Amino acid sequence: MKASAYLAVSLDNFIAREDGRLDWLKGEAGTEITLSAGEDFGFTEFINSVDTVLMGRQTFEFVYKSGSWPYRGKRVIVLSQSLLQAPVGYEDRIELQYGPAAEIWENLVRSGTAHVYIDGGLTLQSFLKLGLVSELTLTRAPILIGSGVPLFGSLPRDLQFKHLETRSYGNGFVQSRYRLIR
Ligand SMILES: NC(=O)c1ccc[n+]([C@@H]2O[C@H](COP(=O)([O-])OP(=O)(O)OC[C@H]3O[C@@H](n4cnc5c(N)ncnc54)[C@H](OP(=O)(O)O)[C@@H]3O)[C@@H](O)[C@H]2O)c1
């Protein structure tokens, strides 16, 4: 089973402000970033390559509040100990699970998952700690936001990646793809 992450990140490695806002990504924070219409930074290609999306509760709440659902046709698992049931309208869209990351991983393998998209800072960190994330796609926005939700955390050992490719976009985003060297 392959696991990949696809995230947008500030130059100082934050994926959201402390309160979850992503205004800095859209140019609403006084920046000159302009998202060009029709440019999805490879997201459609990426999401089409996975069969399962695994996200933390915080990320789910953000997506849920945004009202968009870019995961049609995918199995979506939300990790949470506090969310006891799916919100109304999401009962058929998400499965709630909780437990140690290693157990979640075993369940995914057992259920025949081929490629899982791991999303959310804490969630990603727990799978990185186990050395289970084989590919990282990071899209860097040219902005420092000083504080926020961190992309990375501590690790029990170094994880070395091979750089696969880097693309730059007219709005200043720079996207790099890395594969874990095992
Ligand atoms: N820039 C980007 O590309 C990007 C991408 C994704 C998310 N985001 C943003 O980043 C923020 C979320 O990141 P985050 O690091 O705060 O959190 P997260 O990983 O989305 O969610 C963390 C929560 O997930 C649950 N969880 C994680 N692992 C679990 C496990 N093994 N078992 C049970 N529950 C588990 C816990 O929920 P409970 O407390 O309910 O137990 C935990 O508090 C949001 O603001 C989101 O919008 C940005």
Q: Once rounded to an integer, what is the mean pLDDT over residues 46-68?
A: 97
**Closest among 22, 54, 65, 21 to 124, alpha carbons compared:** 54
CA of 85 to the centre of ligand 1 (A): 17
Verify whether ligand 1 is closer than 6 Å to residue 119 (CB atom): yes
Reported residue count of the chain is 182
Percent of the chain residues past pLDDT 70, beyond the cut: 100
User: 75 - beta bridge partners?
Assistant: 52
pLDDT at residue 35 greater than cutoff 90? no
Model pLDDT, residue 36: 83
Using the atom order of ligand 1, give the atom closest to the CA of residue 55. Answer: 20
Q: Once rounded to an integer, what is the mean pLDDT over residues 42-49?
A: 97
Model pLDDT, residue 2: 98
Q: What are the domain boundaries of the chain?
A: 2-17+42-147+161-180
Verify whether ligand 1 is closer than 6 Å to residue 80 (CB atom): yes
Model pLDDT, residue 38: 86
Query: Greater confidence, 114 or 36?
Result: 114
CA of 56 to the centre of ligand 1 (A): 4
Whole-model pTM: value is: 0.97
Superfamily of domain 2-17+42-147+161-180: Dihydrofolate Reductase, subunit A (3.40.430.10)
Using the atom order of ligand 1, give the atom closest to the CA of residue 81. Answer: 41
**Closest among 182, 175, 180 to 42, alpha carbons compared:** 175
Verify whether ligand 1 is closer than 6 Å to residue 16 (CB atom): yes
The C-alpha angle 169, 179, 53, rounded to 5 degrees, equals: 80
Helices (H), 7-100: 23-26, 43-48, 57-66
Verify whether ligand 1 is closer than 6 Å to residue 136 (CB atom): no
Q: How far is CA 31 from CA 19, 143, 147, 170, 174, in A?
A: 19, 8, 17, 14, 16
Model pLDDT, residue 126: 98
Verify whether ligand 1 is closer than 6 Å to residue 1 (CB atom): no
Verify whether ligand 1 is closer than 6 Å to residue 15 (CB atom): yes
Atom 21 (ligand 1) nearest CA: 56
Q: Which amino acid is at 8?
A: A
The single residue listed with the structure tokens 């990071």 is 138
- What gap in Å lies between CA 85 and CA 95, rounded to an integer? 9
Conformational region of residue 67, where left means phi above 0, alpha means psi within -120 to 50, and beta covers everything else: left
Instruction: Give the chain's radius of gyration (CA, Å).
Output: 16
| Residue-wise pLDDT tens digits, 146-156 | 999 999 999 99
| Residue-wise pLDDT tens digits, 73-107 | 999 999 999 999 999 999 999 999 999 999 999 99
| Residue-wise pLDDT tens digits, 122-155 | 999 999 999 999 999 999 999 999 999 999 999 9
Per-residue pLDDT band at 110 (split at 50, 70, 90): very high
Using the atom order of ligand 1, give the atom closest to the CA of residue 99. Answer: 32
